[in-house]
Amino acid sequence: MTTRPQTPLKRGRPPGSTSFDPATAAAFGRVVRQARLEAGISQESLAYMAGVERSYFGRVERGQNQPTLYVILKVAAALGYEAGALVTLVEQAMVEDATSAE
């Protein structure tokens, strides 16, 4: 049995790729903002409750930053949501965005 020469694995992202998806970030921000307003919580208060900086939280709500899993978990808990339920709402918003764009 012959073996092929091993090519070394390239680590990291492929050239030109990014982990930021504007559509996902915008949908997450809209869903969180809507949930926050329905709960009657100010942006500053929710940021404090979630343990994130207010300016960062504002960028997340505007879809300018894509939150990490850690931040998603903290924001969901601060809103009284399970993280999975919040993510489901984001997925539904993205489907609605895609169907309205067609």
Mean pLDDT by 10 residues, the chain (102 residues): 71 73 94 98 97 96 94 97 97 93 76
Does residue 96 lie within any of the structural domains?
Answer: yes
d(CA 25, CA 44): 19
Query: What pLDDT does 91 receive?
Result: 96
Q: Is residue 44 part of a domain?
A: yes
67 neighbors 4 (Cβ within 8 angstroms): no
Q: What is the pLDDT of residue 62?
A: 96
* Interaxial angle between packed helices 22-39 and 54-61, expressed in degrees from 0 to 180 and rounded to the nearest 10: 110
pTM (whole model) above 0.85? no
Has residue 6 been placed in a domain?
no
Per-residue pLDDT at 20: 83
| CATH code assigned at 78 | 1.10.260.40
87 domain-assigned: yes
Residue 31 lies in a domain: yes
How many domains is the chain built from?
Answer: 1
**pLDDT for the residue numbered 89:** 97
